[in-house]
Structure 1
Amino acid sequence: MRRANDRVFFLDSARSVLMMMVVIVHAGAVFDVEGYWLVTADNPRIWITTLIEFIALFNVEGFFVVSGIFTVMTAKRHGAAALGDRRLKRLLVPLLTTAIVLNVPFSLMMRQQGLADQPVFSLGYLSGGWVLHLWFLVNLVFYTMIMRVSLPVLLPLAQRLEPRLRLVQKRTPKGTRVMVLLGAVSLAQLCLVAISHFMPVMYAELFFGSSLYSFLHHFMFFLLGVTLGSFPSLWNSFTRPSALLCAAAIALIGVSTAVTGPASLDLLLDNLKVAFVTFTLIQCLFALFTRFLNTPSPVWQHLSGASYSIYLLHHPIVVLLAFVIFRTEWPAEAEFAFILTGAFGISWLIHVTLIARSPLLSFLFNGKNMSRPDAAQAAAQPRDKPA
C-alpha cells in the first residue's frame, strides 16, 4: 500500500510540474525570436526561445502520459464508470467556467487592442475559437470518454498478460521491453506524419481550436500512459533510467545531423529523432521524480492543489503583464522574469485567497470542493486530477 501511495504522490507532483511548465512556455513566447504568439516583444532573446523549445519537447507529451496513468488508476480504484462522473466533472466544469469567465472577456480585450480580427461571437468562435490554452482539457474529455468504453475490456486483458510480460523481462536484456513499447509508439507517430503529409487537412484546426493531427499525436502519449498504468512491470521499467534509450536518442541525433538525402529520409530521421528525444526526456523526468519526490511533502501537496488554478488563470495574466512591460525600457531578461513571476504569483494568489476558500469557486474552477484533508489522508487516497 505504501508503494502505491508513493506512486500517487509522485504522479501528482509530476503532473503539477508539467502543467506549470506551460506558464514558462507562454511567458517565454513573448520573447520568441519567431514572434508567433499572441503578443511579441521588440527585444526577443535566443536563449529564451531555446528554453521554451526545450520544455516544449516533453512537457505536454509528458502531461498526457501522466493523464493516461491517472485514468487507469481511477478506473482500477473506482471502476470505469467513475470516468464518466468523477473525471468528466473535473474536466468539463473548469473548462466551461474558464471559457465563459476568462476567455470570452479576454477575446473581447484582444479584439479591442487590434490583436484579433475575428468577432467574438462569430461562427468560428462558436466552433472552438474560445478554447485557446484550454485545448488540453478538450482533448482529455474525448480521451476519457474513449477510455470509459475501452478500459472494461482492456484492464482484464492486461491482467492476464502481465505474468507473460514478467517472464519476458527475465529472459531479455534490461530496458528491452521499454524500447519495444516506445519503438511501437514511434512507428505509429511516423505513420501519422506520413498520412498528414499526403492529407494536409490533418493539420487544419477543424474542431475546438485543435487539429486532427494534434488530437491523434497527443492521444498516442495518452495511450502510452494507459499502457504503463495497466502493466505494473512496464511502469517499473519506465521509471528507471534506460541507457539503451539514451543511446538510441543520441545515435539518432548524430545520424540525422550527419546524413543528408531525399526529403523523405530527412523527414523520417527527424521524426524518429524528436520521438526518441521526447521519450528520453520524459523517462528521465519520471526517474528523477521517482527518486526525489516519492515521499509526501506539504510544499508539493500545496503546489499540486494550486497547479490546476494556476494553469487556468495564467494565460490572460501573461498577456496583460506583457502590455505592462511594453511600456518600459527594461532588459528582456528583467521583463521575462517580471512576466513569469507575476503570472505565477497572481494566479497562485487568486487560488489561495478565493478559489481554495470558496466551495463554489473550487467547484467551478477545480471541479470539486477543496476540502483540507490531513497529510496522511491526502497521501493515502489518490485524488482525481485534471490529468
Structure 2
Amino acid sequence: MCATHLRLNRADSAESAPQNTNLLGLDAVRAWAAVGVVVLHACVPYSNPDVPGLTWATTDTPHSALTSLMWAIEIVIMPIFLVMAGILAVRSMTSRGPLATLKSRTRRLGWPLFLSVVFLIPVDLYAWLLGWLADGVITPRQMRTLKFAEGQDEHLWGLSHLWFLQYLILYIAVLAGAWKWLQRIEPKTVFRIGLPLTVSVAAVVLCFHPEVVWGFQHAFLPVPAKWLYSGCAFAMGVLIARADADLSWLRQVAGRAFCPSALLCIAATVLGIWVLNQRPSDDVQYASAFPVVVSRVTWVSLALLTVAGATGVSLSLIGIACRRVNKIGPVTQRLATASFAIYLLHHPVLVLFHVAAKHGMPSASPLLKMSLGTIIAVLVPVGMHFVFRGMMARRASTVVSQGDQDAPSILTMPTTSEESASERRLAG
C-alpha cells in the first residue's frame, strides 16, 4: 500500500488550506477519534450484554464500566467521522469540482479498500478463528476447511470495520451527482430545511432498525438501513459546510451544546443497555434482527435519545476543537498523521491481544487488559506507518540523488514558503 493511501487525510487537510480557515481542530478530532475506535473495539470482549449481530474472536470477564464506555463511544464515533467527511468533501468540491473530488476520493479510498479486502480481511478471519480455536468453539479441522456447524458462522462474513470506506465512496458519488443541484439552492435555506430533515430521517431509521447502532450489521454489500442512517451524518457535514464554510456557527454554539448533548448520550447509553438486557424475543425472524421485546414507546425513546446524543456530541466536539485548537502537540500530530493506518490495521492486532490476554492473564483486571490492548493496537499501526513512510522517504531520496548525478545541470524547483507552511501545519 503506497504512502499516499496511508496518509489519506493529509490531502483532505491540504484541500482546506487555500480557504484560509484554521481547521486544525479537525486534525485533532480525527486523531483522538481514531483512538476512540480502538478503545471501542478493545471493550468488546468485556461487554455484557453482547453486541447483537457482532461475532468477536473471544469473550472475557464482563465489566459494567467497560460496557457503558463501549456503547457511549459506539453512539458518537462514526457520526464524528462522517460529519467531518461531509465537511471536507464540500470543501474539496468547492475548490476542485465534483468530478475531480470523486476521482481523487475513489482512488484514495478504493485502493486501500481493495487491498484490505485481499490481504487484511483474510488475516482478520484467521485471527478470529484462532480465538474460536483457543476457546474450543471450533476444531483445527474446521479452521482449516472453513466448514462450520449450522449457524456458527452466521455473522462471520463481511467487510468488518472496512464498511466505512465502502459507504464513504458511495456518499461522495451521490454528493458529486447532486452538486450542481445543490449549488443552485441558497445554502442557508438548504441548511434550515435539511438539518432537521436529516435528524428526523436518522431517528425514523432507528425506530424501525435499532440494530443499526445497537447491534452490528455485517455484510459485503451496503445494508440499506445502515447506509441511510450513516448517510444522515455525512449529509449534516455537507449542509454545515455549504451554509457556513468557516464553521463559525458551529464554533459559537458548540460550547453551550456540549453538556446537554453529553447528558443525552449518557441517557441513551443507560436506556440502550437496559433494553439489551430485556427478555429475548420468541419470534425467530424478529430476533435475528434485534433479540429483545420492549414497547414501541421504548424503541422511539431510544431512537430519539441516540440520534440527539450522537448529533449533539459530534457537532459539539468538532466545533469546540475548531474553536480552541490553534496548535497541535507532537502526540496528536503523530496520531493524526497515522490515523488511517490505525483504522486499517488495529483490528487483527487487537484481536490477537484479546486472545492472548484471556488465556495468558486470566485473572488480570478487564480494565488493565482493555488499556493494554488499546495501547498496543494504537502503537503497532503507528509504528508501522512511520517505518513505512521512512522507507518511502529514503527511497525517494535515493531516486532524487541518482537523478542529480545523471543530470547535474538541471536545477530542482524550490518549495514555496506557502507549501512549506502548509506541510508544517498538517497533522494528518
Q: Name the TM-score class by shorter chain.
A: 0.7 to 0.9
Q: Deviations over 1:230-258 (max 9, x none)?
A: 1117932223336478658868998998x
Alignment counterpart, residue 330 of structure 1, candidates 334, 351, 364: 364
8 A contact 1:129–1:208 mirrored in 2: yes
Q: In 1, Cα distance between the equivalents of 2:394 and 2:235?
A: 33
Aligned position for 1:81: 99
Q: 1:40 to 1:150 in 2, by over 3 A?
A: same
Aligned position for 2:196: 183
Instruction: Name the aligned partner's letter for residue 264 of structure 1.
Output: R
- 1:21 matched to 2:36: yes
Q: In 2, Cα distance between the equivalents of 1:195 and 1:62?
A: 23
Q: 1:317 to 1:220 in 2, by over 3 A?
A: same
Alignment counterpart, residue 353 of structure 1, candidates 375, 378, 387: 387
Aligned position for 1:226: 238
8 A contact 1:12–1:304 mirrored in 2: yes
Q: In 1, Cα distance between the equivalents of 2:203 and 2:180?
A: 29
- 1:283 matched to 2:315: yes
How many pairs were matched up?
Answer: 347
Q: In 2, Cα distance between the equivalents of 1:98 and 1:41?
A: 25
Please give the residue correspondences for 1:93-132 in structure 2 after superposition, counting only pairs within 5 Å: 93-111=111-129, 113-114=132-133, 129-132=157-160
8 A contact 2:247–2:319 mirrored in 1: no
Alignment counterpart, residue 66 of structure 1, candidates 76, 84, 94: 84
Aligned position for 1:169: none
Alignment counterpart, residue 423 of structure 2, candidates 372, 378, 386: 378
Deviates more, 1:180-189 or 1:111-120: 111-120
Q: In 1, Cα distance between the equivalents of 2:395 and 2:335?
A: 18
> Displacement, 1:11?
1.8
Instruction: Name the aligned partner's letter for residue 352 of structure 2.
Output: L
Structure 2 alignment gaps of length 5 or more: 1-15, 272-293, 397-417
Instruction: Name the aligned partner's letter for residue 102 of structure 1.
Output: L
Aligned position for 1:339: 373
When normalised by structure 1's length, the TM-score is 0.76
Q: In 1, Cα distance between the equivalents of 2:32 and 2:20?
A: 19
Structure 1 alignment gaps of length 5 or more: 166-176, 363-372
8 A contact 2:40–2:70 mirrored in 1: yes
> Displacement, 1:336?
1.5
Please give the residue correspondences for 1:210-289 in structure 2 after superposition, counting only pairs within 5 Å: 210-232=222-244, 235-241=247-253, 243=256, 263-289=295-321
- What is the identity percentage for the equivalent residue pairs of Structure 1 and Structure 2? 19
Instruction: Name the aligned partner's letter for residue 333 of structure 1.
Output: L
> Displacement, 1:34?
2.2
Q: 1:2 to 1:349 in 2, by over 3 A?
A: closer
Alignment counterpart, residue 161 of structure 2, candidates 114, 133, 138: 133
3-state SS of the aligned residue for 2:378?
Answer: helix
Q: In 1, Cα distance between the equivalents of 2:179 and 2:323?
A: 30
8 A contact 2:264–2:308 mirrored in 1: no
Alignment counterpart, residue 71 of structure 2, candidates 46, 53, 60: 53
The two structures, once aligned, show a CA RMSD in angstroms of 4.0
Q: In 1, Cα distance between the equivalents of 2:381 and 2:115?
A: 16
When normalised by structure 2's length, the TM-score is 0.69
Aligned position for 2:174: 146
> Displacement, 1:300?
3.3
Q: In 2, Cα distance between the equivalents of 1:85 and 1:121?
A: 40
Q: In 2, Cα distance between the equivalents of 1:330 and 1:359?
A: 42
